[in-house]
Amino acid sequence: MEDVFGLAKDSILSNFKSSATGGDLDGILNLFNGKQSISGSPLVKNIISDYAGQLISKLGFSTNTAKSISSIAIPFIMNMINKETPDAGIPENDLLSMLGSSAFTGGKKSVLGKLKNLF
């Protein structure tokens, strides 16, 4: 389970960072500021696809199993992250800081740290 969760975290963070460095901060901000639905987000669709690929290539899951897990797990995790987002949303500077800090990745009190306990 730890490997499954670790790959989800890696897929989310790498896609956030790619999106941010590729100039699509608005895509991330819209997702966390309630301007883009999780189900309609191209970023989330990319994360789901990336995560499924990781499950297949690194853990040997079948294609169908990987697609099923990723299509459920990633939206669930994104919803949990959204619940941790302030009602006013995340300012761009704060988002950039979080992508490079422990707000998403470190410790039991981080967003992904809290999510780890769910798996």
- Rounded mean pLDDT, 103-118: 50
Please provide the average confidence, as pLDDT, over all residues in the chain. Answer: 79
Measured at the alpha carbon of residue 99, what is the angle toward residues 35 and 66, in degrees to the nearest 5? 75
pLDDT of residue 88: 57
CB 103 within 8 A of CB 110: yes
Residues 6+ apart with CB under 8 A from 23: none
pLDDT at 27 over 90: no
